[in-house]
Structure 1
Amino acid sequence: MIRVGMGYDVHQLVSGRDLWMGGIKIEHTMGLLGHSDADVLIHAICDAILGAANMRDIGFHFPDTSSETEGMDSKIILRKTIELIATKGYRLVNIDATICAQRPKMNPHIPAMQQCMADVIGTDPDNISIKATTTERLGFTGREEGISAYAVALIEK
């Protein structure tokens, strides 16, 4: 049996925080605000994976009201998400994700993101497709107020 899930996440850009994307730290003048490290790419991917397994979302499993998840590295959330779907007999087949950010440019970092997440998941980096786009200076992304990410995940039993 194969199943597909879709995920979306957005976080506000603020001064004084590190920018984490796809499990790696990216040099930038601002970072994303959130209860954890606010890695929008990993969060969207986890929601897609959990959705495919009909296991709700990361807010359900890793609530932003919990002291245990405060400041949490999103790579831990990703690893635990893979463990959660395994309890129902599922494994990840592939991910297709898009980061929406005006700045910084994400393309140079994509191979490192793919390798990082593949190592966490225990899969080949070729199973993790990441694309990046701007919003042509439109909306909150274009005004550099935040970054969002979309993801689709395929799982199989």
Structure 2
Amino acid sequence: MIEVKVGLGYDVHKFEKGRKLILGGVEIPYDKGLAGHSDADVLIHALIDAILGAAGLGDIGEHFPDTEIAYKDIDSSLLLKKVLAIIENKFRVNNVDCIIVAQRPKLSPYKEQIRIKLSELLKIEKKRINVKAKTEEGLGFTGRQEGIKAYVIVSLEELGVDIKK
């Protein structure tokens, strides 16, 4: 019998001039990026939290604190790879479902690129990844174009090896 674990991730970052906008490891053309200690890839941060949650290993801040200079401006894809190394041989990512919430920029043209990039990073088939882009119809901080948030749910298949933090 296959043991399946599910994790939910959430992250939010405000916009900041002078930074690149990176979502799911893909650079999106826009006049501002997201503020953060790392590259502020809100989607990968939510994905990391979902994976860590499903594995019972805490959250992104415990593993990669924003007080640590080593993570300053780091590519979040590298953080994801570190998390995947932690769960390697213990869990396999089964599937991923993502929601990116942003009034602007319009993300529909980039959803497929993001799926491809996440497929490469997670080393799973693209068909196991779903990316949705939503607006909040002008409501809240995302609706006012102050930032972006992301939700991710992940299912992991347990490979039968006990892991410790």
TM-score range, shorter chain: over 0.9
Look up the match of 1:110. Answer: 111
| Letter in structure 2 aligned against 1:78 | L
Backbone CA RMSD of aligned residues: 0.8
- Secondary structure in 1 matching 2:103: coil
Look up the match of 1:129. Answer: 130
Q: After TM superposition, where is structure 1 displaced by more than 6 Å over at least 4 residues in a row?
A: none
Look up the match of 2:16. Answer: 14
1:56 matched to 2:58? The reply is yes
- Secondary structure in 1 matching 2:124: coil
Q: Pick from 26, 43, 46: which aligns with 1:44?
A: 46
- TM-score, normalization by structure 2: 0.92
Provide the C-alpha distance between the structure 1 equivalents of 2:102 and 2:86, rounded to a whole number of angstroms. Answer: 30
- TM-score, normalization by structure 1: 0.97
- Secondary structure in 2 matching 1:3: strand
Look up the match of 1:66. Answer: 68
Measured after TM superposition, the shift of residue 83 of structure 1 is 1.3
**Is the CA contact (8 Å cut-off) linking 1:13 and 1:31 kept in structure 2?**
yes
| Letter in structure 1 aligned against 2:81 | R
- Secondary structure in 2 matching 1:55: coil
Q: Pick from 50, 75, 78: which aligns with 2:77?
A: 75
Look up the match of 2:144. Answer: 143
Q: Deviations over 1:106-143 (max 9, x none)?
A: 11101111111111111111111110000000000001
**Number of aligned residues:** 156
Provide the C-alpha distance between the structure 2 equivalents of 1:95 and 1:53, rounded to a whole number of angstroms. Answer: 14
Look up the match of 1:32. Answer: 34
Measured after TM superposition, the shift of residue 5 of structure 1 is 0.4
Measured after TM superposition, the shift of residue 55 of structure 1 is 0.3
* Structure 1 residue runs without a partner (length 5+): none
| Letter in structure 2 aligned against 1:153 | V
* Structure 2 residue runs without a partner (length 5+): 159-165
| Letter in structure 2 aligned against 1:75 | S
